[in-house]
Amino acid sequence: MPLPVITAAFAGVFAIMGVMLSLYVSFLRSRTGIEYGDGGEIVLTRAILTHIVMAVTAVMLIGQAFS
């Protein structure tokens, strides 16, 4: 497979993962009633950090394909 097709496929997978993690963080925020920050909730903190790490990793991996 050519590189642009593989990159587009991975970008699609990362986009789906990002949406799923965003929905999970939103669900946790609505369940706990915390609008800003993590409110000291360990589960919410882990979900937020997982979303951040996934987003940064996706940008780095997709960027590596074009360098």
pLDDT in tens, 2-40: 778 888 888 899 999 999 999 999 999 999 999 999 999
Q: How many domains does the chain have?
A: 1
Calculate the alpha carbon distances from 66 to 6, 8, 26, 35 in Å. 12, 12, 33, 37
Residue 23 to residue 18: CA distance in whole angstroms = 9
Region 48-63: mean pLDDT is 91
Q: Which domain holds residue 36?
A: 3-65
Per the CB < 8 A criterion, the answer to whether 7 and 62 are in contact is yes
Region 51-67: mean pLDDT is 85
